Every structure is written in structure tokens, then in C-alpha cells.
Amino acid sequence: MTWLAVLILALIEGLTEFLPISSTGHLVLGANFFGLDIEKGFTKIFEVNIQFGAILAVVVIYYKKFFQSFEFYLKLVVGVLPAVILALLFKDFIDKNLESLYMIIANLFFGGILLVFVDKFFPENAENNNAQEKEISYLLSFQIGCFQCLAMLLPGLSRSASTILGGMAMGLNRKQSAEFSFFLAVPTMFLASAYNLLKSYKTIQPQEWQFLAVGNLFAFLVAIVAIKFFVDILTKYGFKYFGYYRIIFAIMMFLILNF
């Protein structure tokens, strides 16, 4: 891995992790551009662990929420339980799906079509961004956590897209759904990053630790901008433009891989 690859992949992670456009699909394409296999060696370690920088951006932007009450953390724990259980039971299946580029492309494409029309499915939830926020109960947190599992089973669907749409299906407006998706990403991605690092830290070379440090810092800075941009665009215009982008990007990925 080169320093240029570190910066580009960190840029991709920071930009795409919290947008409903699939960070996995973008990272796969970015890694292929540099001749890297995202499912092997240090590239896989790097791709998973720069998520830490991205989730730190959520904590910094919404720091008041994270110091609000202990119950907030309990609800996040309940929300992340479905993903933890699924990962323990179907780890091999999930890892195998991540290796299927055409599955990622298909999920990007059809997920894009869904986003183009999703605001029509939940018109009241989509447009009522200024209404009083609905209380997120333990049950609601668990239900949205179940939607998050769809992204684990269907790589390319997008974790943020599945949780945001899950929140809207449960009665939240676009803004609240997006913000809870950010919050739920913190324990989910922290556990994935911590597990990956504990499993592989002995194999990481001195320069690779530098790559991880710079990659996390860059992903953190980019994610701060991306989160603020996303909430503003989503609140004003909805999902359709992200849907159009996904469709175009999926077609582009297919053409690049086949021609």
C-alpha cells in the first residue's frame, strides 16, 4: 500500500460511510484501482479500522447526545445486538458475500432504484422533518438494528441506507432516522474495528501503523464534512439524488470490471 492509496481510501471511507451509497462498493473499486485486494492482508485491516476515524466524527458532532444519559448507551447496545448475533452465527457466509463483486453491484443498483422512490412510500415521515421527534424506545432501537443486518447479508445495500429506511418504516422522519443511523454506527463499527485489530495487530508492520493513524485522521476530518452535508441534503431533498448516484455508480462499476 502507498501513501496515495491510504489518502484516497480514507477519503472514500469518510465520504461514503454515512451516506446511503455503500462505502463497501466504493472501497472495493478504490482498492481495485490501486491493484489491492480489499479482502486480504493489510488492505482488509486498513479498510475495517479506518472506520474508527469515521465514527469518531459522529461522537464529536453529536457530543451532547453522547453525554445526555446512560439510557442512550443502553439503547445503542440493544440496537447493535442483532448485528452481533448475526455476525457470530453467519460470519463465514457474510465474509463470502463480501467477496462477490457482482452481488455488491446488484445491491447498489437495486438499492438505488429503491431510494429513488422511497420518499413516496413514507410521505408523512419524509416531509415532517420539523415535527417533534418520536421517542426511540428499546424496542424501536432493536427493530432498526434488525434493518441494519440487511446490509451485512446484502453487501452493497449500505448500512446507513438500511438503518435510515428502517427508522422511517418505524415512524421516524428523515432527519431523526439519519441521526439514529449515525449513533448506531458507533458501537457497530467500533466492535468490528476492535475485533479486527485484536485479531491482526501482531502482523501489522511499523509503517502500516503510520498508514492506520493517518488514514483514521483523514477519514475523521472528511466524515465531519460529509455528515453535515448529508443531513442538510437529506432534509431538504430526500433520497432520490442518492438513488440516481447509486444506479450510475453500479453501472460504472460493472463496465469497469468487464471492459
pLDDT digit string, tens, across residues 15-27: 999 999 989 889 9
CA 73, CA 161: separation in Å to the nearest integer? 22
Low-confidence spans in the chain with pLDDT less than 50: 131
Q: What's the longest Cα–Cα distance across the chain?
A: 53
| Look-up of cell digits 422511517 | 168
Domain that residue 229 falls in:
3-258
Burial 224-238 (b: 16+ CB within 10 A, else e): bebbeebbeebbeeb
Number of domains in the chain: 1
**Contact between residue 188 and residue 18 where contact means Cβ atoms under 8 Å apart:** no
**Contact between residue 112 and residue 19 where contact means Cβ atoms under 8 Å apart:** no
pLDDT at 209: 95
Closest CA to 185 of 214, 218, 219, 215: 219
pLDDT at 221: 96
pLDDT at 77: 95
pLDDT at 124: 58
DSSP 17: T
pLDDT at 29: 84
pLDDT at 128: 54
**What cell was used for 206?**
511499523
